[in-house]
Amino acid sequence: MTNILVYALHHEGAINKNSLGAVSKAAELASELGGEAHAVFVGEDVSDDTAGSIGTYGATKAFRVKAPAGVSQPVVDALDAVLESGDYGYVIFGGGLLGFEAGAGLAARRGGGIGVEITGLKVADGKVVAERPILGDTQISDISFEGLGVIAARLNAFEPKESGSPVSVEDVDVTLSDAAGKLEVVTRGEQRGADVNIEDAQVLITGGRGLGSAENFSVAEGLAEAFGGSAAVAATRAAVDAGWFPYAGQIGQTGKTVAPKLYLGLGVSGAIQHKVGMQSSDAIVAINKDGNAPIFEFADLGVVGDLHSIVPALAEAIKAKKG
């Protein structure tokens, strides 16, 4: 019997969608392995309702550890303690940032292996095999584990599936490590900038570092205006971290996942962590002056050129077309 443990990321009473996906996948794999999927919540104030609701997605046990949320060391301590108490072969983290950190820490502590950016999981010969895309997603490696297998999934790799009903919650007392005591989360989830809505737009004009400045986002705004009502402007992490655009408008790993009818990237390189948040768009158009930019590998229409000369002219032409 091999059980699978899943770390359930949560914030303000809601479980992260990627954690729900991870639990759903774990439940499916565990039944093939003849085991169960269990979930661990780490936080100061996780309610019975929140933690118990993980049962709906196939977990048969919900463990709750009272410890600070938002940093990885307490998560490693919590998972380590739960692993000690049962027969577990694998730990899965849904796509996020903490999963990479806590996952690597846990694999190191337990002498296991970690696979990151995992997009698929299957059972072969009684063991879980993880699929990891490499080389800009042009190949997929199969990874097996010796000892504990820790899996940090790619964002949106696994969809939540309801397959059970709420479970009761077990509290676990964990003595935190010295390292955990040396981290203090002062603020969490600060929303920088205006509350823009990019999830409901049909057309998303996305500005990247190639726009060059906050002022130049007016180029993207101009194009969005030309498309009209259902268009909005979004951004990459590079542009948001630079303070050029609000965090609420960021697409990717640590931002939003979007699937508009048209995604149009301006000066966006197409890094994996950005791609994972927009690859389900119906049509992807990219304007980038570097012909080797990774975004051209997955754009439906790629334009190699300077956005500053093309975009204003394109906005005019679209306005003219619409009449």
Partner 1 sequence: MTKIVVLVKEVPDAAVQKQVDSSTGRLDRSGEKTLNPFDTHAIEAALQLKESGALDVDEVVAVTVGPSSAVKALHKAVSLGADRSIHLTDDALVGSDVVGTGYALAELIKRESPDLVLAGQQSDDGQSYAVGAAVAEYLGWPGLTQVIKLDVDGQTLTCERQAEYGYDTVKVTLPAVISVGDAINEPRYPSLKAIMGAKKKPLESLSLGDAEIDASKVGEAGRKAVWTGSQEPPAKAAGELIEDEDTAETVEKIVAWLDDRKLI
Site for partner 1 in 111-150 (CB under 8 A): 111-117, 129, 131, 133-149
Tell me how far apart the alpha carbons of residues 308 and 306 are, in angstroms, rounded to a whole number. 5
250 touches ligand FAD (CB under 6 A): yes
Kindly tell me which residue out of 252, 260, 263, 314 binds ligand FAD, with binding defined by CB under 6 A.
Answer: 252
**Nearest-angstrom CA–CA distance, 174 and 236:** 38
Cα–Cα distance, 77 to 75 (Å, whole number): 5
Q: Which residue lies nearer to ligand FAD by CB, 167 or 238?
A: 238
The whole-angstrom distance between residue 241's C-alpha and the CA centroid of its chain comes to: 17
Check residue 208 for interaction with ligand FAD (CB under 6 A).
yes
Count the neighbouring beta carbons within 10 Å of the beta carbon of residue 215.
9
Going by DSSP bridges, is the β-strand pair 127-134/120-124 parallel, antiparallel, or unpaired?
antiparallel
Q: What does the alpha-carbon distance between residue 273 and residue 260 come to, in Å, rounded to a whole number?
A: 18
17 scored as a contact of ligand FAD (CB under 6 A): no
**Apex 74 CA angle, 73 and 75, nearest 5:** 90
Size of the residue set binding ligand FAD (CB under 6 A): 28
Site for ligand FAD in 82-141 (CB under 6 A): 97
196 binds partner 1 (CB under 8 A): no
Give min distance, CB of 304 to ligand FAD, in A: 9
16 binds partner 1 (CB under 8 A): yes
96 belongs to the binding site for partner 1 (CB under 8 A): yes
36 vs 93, beta carbon nearer partner 1? 93
Among the listed residues 278, 285, 279, the one whose alpha carbon sits nearest the alpha carbon of residue 303: 285
Which one, 119 or 253, has the nearer CB to ligand FAD?
A: 253
